[in-house]
Amino acid sequence: MRLSRAALPTVPAAARPRFQPGELRTGIVHLGLGAFHRAHQALYTEDAGDPAYGVCGVTMRSMAAAELLSAQDLLYSVLERDGEHASIRVCGMLTEAVGPEAGTARIADPGVRVVTMTVTEPGYRHDPATGRLRAADPDVAADLAGGPPRTPVGRLVAGLRARRAAGSGPLAVVCCDNLAGGGRLLSGLVTEFCELARDDELLSWIHDGNAAFPSAMVDRIVPAPADADRAAAARLLGVADRAALTTEPFRQWVIEDRFPGGRPPWERAGAMITGDVEPYETMKLRLLNGVHSVLAYLGALAGLGTTAEATTRPELAEAGRRYLEFDAAPTLAPPPGVDLDAYRERLLARLANPALRHPIAQVAADGSHKLPQRLLPVIRDRLARGAEPRWAALGVAAWMRYVSAGRADDGTPITVTDPLAARLSMPEADPREVADRLLGLTEVFGEDLGRDATLRALVTDLLTRLTRDGALATARDP
């Protein structure tokens, strides 16, 4: 039997959704119906317990997730695992799962008060070094020219236009991707879009307080689901769930309190609502995401498959710890009440969780957009203080090796997923040339870092050793 409303009575009582069918109204439109949203914001919203905030999930690329979920009455399970601990629940917060066109139209609904977004870092089509909209991107240009929207920002703007036209009142749009100052970034992109499209009416509507763009720090490790996750869910639920997800017990959400149309009482579910998200965001991006990237590139070169495998290799774990302790932590002003040493230890334990099969390739993807959020601000801060960011530079050099060589240290081919992949690939180039060419990518390294002699020397030296000695030997003694 497959998971569905009709099958729920056979599911263990403690695992059933919090709401009865028909109890929910749609109050949130979520753009980007991936695993992360379903294992994070959707559960917080269910736990917040307000039936006015059912979620309309919108797929942005393919209809696969919407079809999969629709075939089981929009129900899916989330299994939390850590070592021996396993607890499963079925989430019933989705009220619809639709494609981009229907989803955009939904934003005009007066019952909708919040739009949330997880469309991946490159999805915003911005220049990662400056945060500006890439107006020359063919999809952005087509959206600006008024064609059927193709990009997430183009679709969001179409939804906001429809909302304004319908007079449906104010709302908040929350960027839930791993982007520093995500609210500011998204608001800037929407503003730029409207300016380029000469949509003064929408601009004034936004500036009159009808759309707010709060920032948020989101945290939960949610690996792309695999067969083993679906099999584990079926064992615990007693029914098959093709949309099953596995995640860790940990979750965190810190949200800036700017919701002109109202919001779910997420604090009831443990979210922190605050006036200033930035210290949390910076901490999480530089520590968790930063060390994730360092481990992913070194681990991939060493031929490892999951981040847990990388975290349990002593030389890689040590490199990660040193990155956290010597490079990232000194650049942070910890949020009130947070002990960075305790945060670091907990983080390393989370990454080593043997029950999560988090593919390294997932973390390693889109590095040209991730490094500018994670490692490069750390490097900038350390250099400005006259310090040598050796461990962060090791992460950057490992990224360079990963994207340029297209193979692991043992020769196994690596498929690089990145919007710049074609420009990053240079399997024949020697380490100095690779470092020079990649540091010259101003959209990644900015005007400053590409010209920094200390960084150039450090990265060139590390890349030379990664190429000659491999990732494990270099991590041991960078």
CB 465 to ligand CS2: min, Å:
25
CB 105 within 8 A of CB 20: no
Minimum distance between the CB of residue 380 and ligand CS2, rounded to whole angstroms?
A: 20
The nearest distance, CB 197 to ligand CS2, in angstroms, is 31
The strand order across the sheet containing 26-31 reads 94-98, 54-58, 26-31, 114-117, 171-175, 211-212
Which residue lies nearer to ligand CS2 by CB, 113 or 220? Answer: 220
Measured from each CB, the residue nearest to ligand CS2 is 292
- Quote the least distance from Cβ 344 to ligand CS2, whole Å: 15
338 token code pair:
């947070």
Identity of the residue, 219 or 281, whose beta carbon is nearer to ligand CS2 in the bound complex: 219
Site for ligand CS2, rule CB under 6 A: 178, 219-221, 288-289, 292, 362-363, 370
From the CB of 289, what's the least distance to ligand CS2, in Å? 4
Task: Give the pairing of strands 76-82 and 85-91.
Answer: antiparallel
User: In this complex, which beta carbon is closest to ligand CS2, that of residue 211 or of residue 363?
Assistant: 363
Alpha helix stretches (DSSP H) within 59-151: 64-70, 100-106, 138-144
Q: How far is the CB of 39 from ligand CS2 (least distance, A)?
A: 10
How many angstroms separate the CA atoms of 137 and 398, rounded?
28
The closest of 188, 210, 179 to 277, measured between CA atoms, is 179
Closest CA to 298 of 172, 160, 399, 412: 399
- Residue 47 or 248: the one with the smaller Cβ distance to ligand CS2 is 248
CB neighbours (10 Å) of residue 10?
11
Minimum distance, C-beta of residue 306 to ligand CS2, in the bound complex (Å)? 12
Shortest distance (Å) from residue 66 CB to ligand CS2: 22
Task: CB nearer to ligand CS2: give 70 or 289.
Answer: 289
Q: How far is CA 389 from CA 35, 133, 197, 381, in A?
A: 34, 30, 42, 9
3-state SS, residue 195: helix
Q: How far apart are CA 313 and CA 316, in angstroms?
A: 5
Q: Which is nearer to ligand CS2, 104 or 178 (CB)?
A: 178
Query: At CB < 8 A and 24+ separation, what contacts does 307-313 make?
Result: 307/351, 307/356, 307/358, 307/360, 307/363, 308/351, 308/352, 308/353, 308/354, 308/356, 308/357, 308/358, 309/360, 310/360, 311/348, 311/351, 311/352, 312/352, 312/354, 313/472
Is the Cβ of residue 117 or residue 158 nearer to ligand CS2 in the bound state? Answer: 117
Classify the C-alpha dihedral 361-132-141-213 as positive or negative.
positive
Question: CB under 8 Å to 133, separation ≥6 — which residues?
Answer: 125, 126, 127, 140, 153, 188, 189, 192, 193, 196
Compute the distance between CA of residue 16 and CA of residue 119 in angstroms, rounded to an integer.
28
Min. distance of Cβ 345 from ligand CS2 in angstroms? 17
Report how far residue 162's alpha carbon sits from residue 369's, in angstroms, rounded to the nearest whole number.
Answer: 31
HSE (side-chain half, CA atoms, 13 Å) at 448: 10
Distance CA 456, CA 400 (A): 12
Task: Give 179 or 190: the residue with its C-beta nearer to ligand CS2.
Answer: 179
Cα–Cα distance for residue pair 190/433, rounded to 1 Å: 38
Q: Among residues 92 and 367, whose Cβ is nearest to ligand CS2?
A: 367
Measured from the CB atom, is 53 or 280 closer to ligand CS2? 280
Q: Name which of 65 and 363 has its Cβ closer to ligand CS2.
A: 363
- In the complex, minimum distance from the CB of residue 394 to ligand CS2, in angstroms, rounded to a whole number: 17
Q: Tell the smallest beta-carbon distance from residue 423 to ligand CS2 (Å).
A: 21
Task: In angstroms, give the least distance from the CB of 271 to ligand CS2.
Answer: 14
Closer Cβ to ligand CS2, 43 or 288, answer by number: 288
